[in-house]
Amino acid sequence: MKCLAVCQDELVIRILARAFEPRLDIEFLVEDRLLARRLHDTAVTVHVGDPRKVESYLRADIDPSTCLLVEDTGRRSPKRTVEAIRDAGGTLVYLLDVGHPLSPKRQEEHGTRIPDVGQLALADLLQGALCTELDRSMTRARVEQYQRYLADADRVLILLHNDPDPDAMASGLALRNLLRRTKTTAIIGAFQGVTRPENLRMANLLDIHVEPLNRQSLSGFDRIATVDVQPHYFGGLINKVDLVIDHHPERGGYGAAFKDIRPDYGSTCTILTEHLRAVDANISERAATAMLYAIKSDTLFLSRQTNEPDLDAFRFLYPLANAALIRKMEGAETTVERLNSVSEAVLGGEVVGALYTTHLGDVAREDLITYVADFLLQVEEIKWSVVSGIVHGDLVISVRTLGYSRHAGEFVKQHFGDVGSAGGHRAMAKAVAPLDRFQQKFGSIAPEDIRATIHALAEQFLEEPQASERRRSMNR
């Protein structure tokens, strides 16, 4: 996100440049050419112009999403500067009080606010409050833009990935809330419905209906939004959507009018919590319960792929949610079917050092594979669990790690990205490949051969840094 600061004080400019870098792409508008030359020599991006003229902002190439900081010098009113910014298309405007004494004329104006202009103090910057406020303002602008864009649609589809998990279903509820729509005008849908026991229990307890879809039903919607998934997932079925909100690594190959993709977040619901808070939306107990459960589920109770926004969203949602309902949903985690899958995994698995690999053969659903991968990672000596199984003719490979060694997503993309879909985070990843394509690349698809192939690839992947280190030591 671009930020343009209208400042004439060199000290303030240098404070802002240091405070924002590398978080924001910050540029400055100054009137003094000598000051501009000094700043340019220190790699600060500077524009020279009169801040009270529209052309100064047009040359700086601002747009409605640009954040404008206007230094309040205390000597002259910033009203003409703000008017020029608005005439040039700027909307996110803040006055920055840097502590200058007010002139007599400004003292008369003191306390008179300029409509729709935020007030900030330089001292807030040093406490971190400015960045927080700017983040929220930029999120608010993004949300209001897609709200307006989708407002005139008769029917909106909120599309989830196949066999939706808690993060997908809760994100669907949250987006419906943000769009101020009902379940008849914003349909939450998926091509393959909910099957996992705990997810079915969540859907039943929170009355979340996921509409079954097919290729023909897509034509019945004026707008399409995807949450917790990106359009490439559907294999070319959808090449253009109106909105994408997701926490998985960004993939190309599709068009979208609006996108908010944050792969460093542990949950899509964390992103949508920020969207709801940015526009001061009311969050019902039902939605808060779904979103809190989703964040707990996707981050293994804040222990996996978690950062400060996830913790902040959890803290915000906790008092709004129904804790008893969450405990009831969590009660479906262990089933006899899953215990049988764990037993199968232990009997057919191999452990070498901190690596545990196993192949389950034909399984009814993907969740049995991911459950086993999570379960095996709890074994004391294990730092990597790689579990595979065959679901409806596709080989599904689920990887779980403790997150501080090599990148799980890189592993699956490197070895299986050319035969199917593959990707993920450092601590968790998945690959899905048609069995015939896996066979063409790796040969035998006998159960033991599949496990042995994947184990050899994982072992080699984990040994690569050690081999590099040994070569460096020999060279020294």
| CA geometry: angle 183, 188, 190, nearest 5 deg | 150
| Tally of CA atoms within 13 A in the half-sphere of 2 that contains its CB | 14
* Beta strand residue intervals within 392-474, DSSP E: 394-401, 421-424, 428-434
**Which of 330, 345, 361 is the last residue before a domain boundary?**
330
Is 425 contained in some domain?
yes
| pLDDT tens-digit series, residues 116-127 | 777 777 666 555
Q: If DSSP codes are grouped into helix, strand and coil, which group holds residue 164?
A: coil
Query: What range defines the domain where residue 406 resides?
Result: 336-469
pTM higher than 0.75 for the full model?
no
Range of lowest pLDDT (65-74, 213-222, 256-265, 325-334): 325-334
* Per-residue pLDDT, 332: 56
Q: The domain spanning residue 49 has which CATH number?
A: 3.40.50.720
* Per-residue pLDDT, 47: 96
Q: The domain spanning residue 340 has which CATH number?
A: 3.10.310.40
How far does Cα 65 stand from its chain's mean position? 19
* Per-residue pLDDT, 102: 46
**Which of 330, 357, 372 is the last residue before a domain boundary?**
330
50-53: list long-range contacts, CB under 8 Å, 24+ apart: 51/6, 51/81, 51/84, 52/80, 52/81, 52/84, 53/84
Are 356 and 290 in a shared domain?
Answer: no
| pLDDT tens-digit series, residues 11-46 | 888 888 877 766 678 899 999 999 999 898 888 999
Structure tokens at 305: 């792929």
Angstrom distance (rounded) from CA 230 to CA 159 = 10
- Work out whether strand 156-159 and strand 25-30 pair parallel, antiparallel, or are unpaired: unpaired
Number of domains in the chain: 3
Q: The domain spanning residue 210 has which CATH number?
A: 3.90.1640.10
Is 61 contained in some domain?
yes
**Bridge partners of residue 224, in order along the sequence:** 157
For residues 374 and 400, the answer to whether their CB atoms sit within 8 Å is yes
For residues 386 and 397, the answer to whether their CB atoms sit within 8 Å is yes
Angstrom distance (rounded) from CA 408 to CA 430 = 9
Are 24 and 63 in a shared domain?
Answer: yes
| pLDDT tens-digit series, residues 162-194 | 999 999 999 999 999 999 999 999 999 999 999
Identify the residue with better confidence: 389 or 91.
389
* Per-residue pLDDT, 329: 81
- Average pLDDT over the chain, rounded to an integer: 87
Is 233 contained in some domain?
yes
Sign of the torsion formed by the C-alpha atoms of 280, 286, 290 and 295: positive
Are 344 and 322 in a shared domain?
Answer: no
285-298 helix and 268-278 helix, angle to the nearest 10 degrees:
140
Structure tokens at 192: 């393959």
Is 309 contained in some domain?
yes
The C-alpha R_g of the chain, in whole angstroms, comes to: 26
DSSP string, 352-367: ETTEEEEEEEE-S-HH
Give the residue from 158, 151, 144 showing the smallest Cα distance to 190: 158
Neighbour count for residue 42 (Cβ, 10 Å): 10
| pLDDT tens-digit series, residues 202-252 | 999 999 999 999 999 999 999 999 999 999 999 889 999 999 999 998 888
- Could you say which DSSP state residue 10 is in? H
Distances (CA, A) of 380 to 298, 329, 355, 377, 470: 22, 27, 11, 8, 27
Buried b (16+ CB within 10 A) or exposed e, 142-178: bbeebeeebeebeebbbbbbebbbbbbbbbbbbbbbb
299 pLDDT band, cuts 50/70/90, is: confident
Task: For 156, list phi and psi in degrees, rounded to 5.
Answer: -115, 135
Are 158 and 187 in a shared domain?
Answer: yes
Are 94 and 209 in a shared domain?
Answer: no
406: enclosing H helix or E strand: none
**Which of 280, 307, 330 is the last residue before a domain boundary?**
330
Is 462 contained in some domain?
yes
Is 140 contained in some domain?
no
Instruction: Give yes or no for residue 145 having a pLDDT over 70.
Output: yes
Are 161 and 306 in a shared domain?
Answer: yes
Is 58 contained in some domain?
yes
Are 367 and 428 in a shared domain?
Answer: yes
135: enclosing H helix or E strand: helix 129-150
| pLDDT tens-digit series, residues 444-464 | 999 999 999 999 999 999 987
Are 122 and 164 in a shared domain?
Answer: no
| pLDDT tens-digit series, residues 338-355 | 889 999 999 999 999 999
142 pLDDT band, cuts 50/70/90, is: confident
| pLDDT tens-digit series, residues 402-445 | 876 789 999 999 999 999 999 888 888 999 999 999 999 999 99
For residues 141 and 64, the answer to whether their CB atoms sit within 8 Å is yes
Are 318 and 403 in a shared domain?
Answer: no
Are 219 and 318 in a shared domain?
Answer: yes
Are 96 and 199 in a shared domain?
Answer: no
Q: If DSSP codes are grouped into helix, strand and coil, which group holds residue 429?
A: strand
Sign of the torsion formed by the C-alpha atoms of 213, 215, 220 and 225: positive
* Per-residue pLDDT, 301: 61
Structure tokens at 413: 């993309």
DSSP string, 85-125: HHHTT--EEEEEE--PPPPHHHHHHTT-PPTT-EEEEHHHH
For residues 398 and 408, the answer to whether their CB atoms sit within 8 Å is no
Structure tokens at 144: 């209001």
Distances (CA, A) of 281 to 64, 77, 284: 22, 34, 10
392: enclosing H helix or E strand: none
Are 213 and 79 in a shared domain?
Answer: no
Task: For 256, list phi and psi in degrees, rounded to 5.
Answer: -150, 135
**Sheet order of strands, 67-72 included:** 46-48, 25-30, 2-6, 67-72, 92-97, 118-121
Is 474 contained in some domain?
no
Neighbour count for residue 434 (Cβ, 10 Å): 13
* Per-residue pLDDT, 92: 83
